């Protein structure tokens, strides 16, 4: 059995653990990127986040590819690459045009920011 076969087998045997780590990792870093852009924080910080997410998405796509190699076609094998592409798109937008992303985020939050009443418990 080759090293490639062993890596693929490892990936499939530990699917829950791999996805259980990579999905929250990408989700949290993508959210942090939105916060960093919204608060006009350092572009270097956004780039560092982007590099981490690109690495996580690459691992996730390689993991899903091991399932495609053996012919397993299920909803997660399509959802995870779309999720990864969304994370990459967010980071590309954040690194290439943070000003337009910030304007979009402010537009999304405008109804919340304009509320005059406070919530009471």
pLDDT in tens, 24-54: 999 999 999 999 999 999 999 999 999 999 9
Residue 121 has pLDDT above 70, yes or no: no
Largest separation between any pair of C-alpha atoms in the chain:
66
Does residue 99 sit within a domain? yes
The answer to the question of residue 26 being in a domain is yes
Write out the residue range of the structural domain in which residue 58 sits: 3-113
Query: 118 lies in a domain?
Result: no
User: What pLDDT does 90 receive?
Assistant: 95
- Which position has the token pair 């993991």? 63
Whether 91 has a pLDDT exceeding 70, the answer reads yes
Establish if 119 belongs to a structural domain. no
CA angle 35, 91, 109 (to 5 degrees): 35
In a domain, 106, yes or no: yes
Return the structure tokens found at 11: 């990936």
The arithmetic mean of pLDDT across residues 64-91, rounded, is: 91
Residue 40 counted as domain residue = yes
Q: Which residue has the higher pLDDT, 115 or 78?
A: 78
Flag whether 121 is in a domain: no
Q: How many domains does the chain have?
A: 1
């Amino acid at each position: 059995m080759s090293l490639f076969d062993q890596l693929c087998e490892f990936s499939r045997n530990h699917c829950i653990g791999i996805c259980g780590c990579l999905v929250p990792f990408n989700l949290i870093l993508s959210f942090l990127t939105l916060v960093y852009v919204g608060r006009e924080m350092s572009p270097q910080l956004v780039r560092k986040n982007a590099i981490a997410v690109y690495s996580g998405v690459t691992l996730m796509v390689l993991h899903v590819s091991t399932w495609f190699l053996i012919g397993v076609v299920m909803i997660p094998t399509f959802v995870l690459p779309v999720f990864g592409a969304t994370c990459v798109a967010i980071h590309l937008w954040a690194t290439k045009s943070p000003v337009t992303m910030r304007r979009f985020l402010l537009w999304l939050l405008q109804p919340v920011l304009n509320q005059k009443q406070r919530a009471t418990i």
